[in-house]
Amino acid sequence: MHRDHPAWPPIPLTLAPQYNPAYDAHPHQHLHAHQQQPKLKFSHAKAGGRTKKQALSCFFCRERKIACGRPEEGITDPTCNQCARRKIPCTYPTVSHRGQHSRIKSAARKAHSVEFGRRESAEFEQRENVGAAS
For 96-110, give the DSSP string. Answer: --TTHHHHHHHHHHH
Which pLDDT value is given to residue 131? 61
CA angle (8, 10, 15) in 5-degree steps = 135
Query: In this predicted model, what pLDDT tens digit does every residue of 37-89 receive, in sequence order?
Result: 444 344 444 555 666 555 679 999 999 999 998 888 788 888 999 999 999 99
Highest mean pLDDT among 9-18, 26-35, 104-113: 104-113
What string of DSSP letters covers 73-130?
A: TT-S----HHHHHHT------SS--TTHHHHHHHHHHHHHHHHHHHHHHHHHHHHHHH
Cα-to-chain-centroid distance, residue 25? 37
pTM to 2 decimal places: 0.36
Buried b (16+ CB within 10 A) or exposed e, 80-98: bebbeeeeeebebeeeeee
Residue percentage of the chain with pLDDT more than 90: 18
Class of residue 126 by CB neighbours under 10 A (exposed 0-12, middle 13-18, buried 19+): exposed
Which pLDDT value is given to residue 76? 86
Whether the CB-CB separation of 96 and 89 falls below 8 Å is answered with: no
For residue 35, pLDDT over 50 is answered with: no
Whether the CB-CB separation of 64 and 85 falls below 8 Å is answered with: no
Which pLDDT value is given to residue 71? 82
Q: What is the average pLDDT score of the chain?
A: 69
Which pLDDT value is given to residue 79? 93
What's the average model confidence in pLDDT over 19-34?
51
